[in-house]
C-alpha cells in the first residue's frame, strides 16, 4: 500500500504545504499512517512546467530524505503527482518508485493487483511490445501503467496527442479498473484488489477509487476547486479550508458532477482542478 497525491489547477500553485507542512502532509504520512505503518520504500514527485513532467524518484523514505522537502519547496505548477511507497509487489529500489512516466503521461497507484503472477501474463499480452520494453522495474503498478497506455493508444488517443475528450479517457480508465478486478477474480484472488490510480497528461487528471475509501472537498478561489482524501490518519484533522464528503464507492466525478459508473473516477479539465490525496 502507498500514499498518493494529485493536484490539478488552472493557475500555477505552490504545493509545499500539502506535501511537507500540513497536518496531513504526504511527508508525515510516509512516516506513519492510521495503522502505524511506515511508507518508507521510496518516493517520487512529478510536476509539469511545460507540456511534459519533471520527475524525481528516490529509493529513500520521504521523511528521512531532505531532497523530498527541497524538491517540494521548488514546485510551482498547475499539475502535480506525488507518491510515497509501502512495497507489496517488487522490492524497494528507485526503479520501482512512483510516479511512472512516459512522454506527457504520469501515473501513480495505491493498492495491489492480487495474484499478480498470473494476471501479469494477461496484462503483458495486451501491452504493445514497444511499451513493454520501457519497463525499468518489476512492480504491478508499472505493468498497469504501460498496459493503460496501450489501451489508450488502441482507442485512438495518440500518446502525444493532448487533444481528446476527457470523457473518453475516463471511460477507458474505468473499464480498465473493472478488467483488472475481473482478472484477479479469475486468477483466484482471495483478497480484494485495490486500485486507486492517478493518471494525467498534464492537462487532464483522472483519479480512480476501487476498494479504498476516498473523500473530496470542494475549494474555490486561487485556482483550487476540488480536494480528495481517502481517510484521515491519527495526527490529521479535516482541512479547515473545505468540508470533506465521501465519494461514492462506484462513481466518477468531473468538475463537481457525480455520475454512476462501473469504476470510480475523478477527473478535471483545464478549466477545473483536482487536489487528490489517498490515505489508507
For residue range 154-181, list pLDDT tens digits in order.
998 989 877 788 889 999 999 999 999 9
Burial classification of residue 175, based on how many CB atoms lie within 10 Å of its CB (0-12 exposed, 13-18 middle, 19 or more buried): middle
Is residue 102 packed enough to be buried (19+ CB in 10 Å), middle (13-18) or exposed (0-12)? Answer: middle
Task: Round to whole Å and give the CA distance between 230 and 1.
Answer: 13
Q: Tally the domains of the chain.
A: 1
**CA distance to 5, 94, 144, 217, per residue, from 43 (Å):** 11, 8, 18, 25
Grid cell for residue 271: 478549466
- Count the neighbouring beta carbons within 10 Å of the beta carbon of residue 70: 12
pLDDT beyond 60 at 153: yes
| Cis, bond preceding 15 (omega within 30 deg of 0) | no
CB atoms within 10 A of CB 182: 12
Mean pLDDT of 219-241: 42
Range of the domain at 158: 2-246+253-279
pLDDT of residue 72: 95
182-200 per-position pLDDT tens digit: 999 999 999 989 898 899 9
Do 224 and 273 form a contact (C-beta atoms < 8 A)? yes
Domain CATH number, residue 102:
3.60.20.10
- pLDDT, one tens digit per residue, over 112-150 is 999 999 999 999 999 999 999 999 999 999 999 999 999
> pLDDT tens across 65-78, in order?
999 999 999 999 98
DSSP state for residue 23 in the 8-state scheme: T
Query: How confident is the model at residue 248, as a pLDDT?
Result: 59
Top mean-pLDDT range of 16-30, 136-150, 221-235: 136-150
Give me the pLDDT at residue 82, please.
93
Amino acid at each position: 500500500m502507498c500514499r498518493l497525491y494529485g493536484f490539478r489547477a488552472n493557475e500555477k500553485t505552490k504545493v509545499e504545504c500539502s506535501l511537507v507542512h500540513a497536518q496531513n502532509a504526504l511527508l508525515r504520512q510516509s512516516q506513519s499512517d492510521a495503522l502505524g505503518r511506515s511508507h518508507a520504500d521510496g518516493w517520487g514527485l512529478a510536476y509539469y512546467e511545460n507540456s511534459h513532467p519533471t520527475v524525481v524518484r528516490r529509493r529513500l523514505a520521504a521523511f528521512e530524505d531532505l531532497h523530498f522537502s527541497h524538491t517540494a519547496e521548488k514546485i510551482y505548477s498547475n499539475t502535480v503527482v506525488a507518491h510515497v511507497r509501502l512495497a507489496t509487489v517488487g522490492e524497494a529500489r528507485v526503479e520501482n518508485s512512483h510516479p511512472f512516466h512516459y512522454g506527457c503521461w504520469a501515473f501513480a497507484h495505491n493498492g495491489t493487483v492480487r495474484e499478480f503472477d498470473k494476471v501479469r501474463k494477461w496484462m503483458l499480452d495486451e501491452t504493445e511490445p514497444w511499451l513493454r520494453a520501457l519497463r525499468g522495474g518489476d512492480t504491478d503498478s508499472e505493468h498497469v501503467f504501460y498496459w493503460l497506455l496501450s489501451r489508450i493508444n488502441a482507442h485512438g488517443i495518440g500518446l502525444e496527442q493532448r487533444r481528446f475528450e476527457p470523457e473518453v479517457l475516463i471511460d477507458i480508465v474505468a473499464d480498465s479498473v473493472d478488467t483488472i478486478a475481473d482478472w484477479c477474480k479469475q486468477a483466484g484472488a482471495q483478497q480484494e484488489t485495490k486500485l486507486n490510480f492517478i493518471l494525467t497528461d498534464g492537462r487532464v487528471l483522472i483519479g480512480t477509487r476501487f476498494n479504498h475509501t476516498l473523500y473530496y472537498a470542494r475549494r474555490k478561489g486561487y485556482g483550487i476547486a476540488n480536494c480528495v482524501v481517502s481517510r484521515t490518519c491519527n495526527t490529521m484533522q479535516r482541512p479547515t479550508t473545505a468540508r470533506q464528503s465521501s465519494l461514492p464507492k462506484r462513481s466518477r466525478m468531473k468538475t463537481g458532477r457525480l455520475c454512476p459508473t462501473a469504476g470510480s473516477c475523478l477527473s478535471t479539465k483545464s478549466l477545473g482542478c483536482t487536489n487528490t490525496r489517498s490515505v489508507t
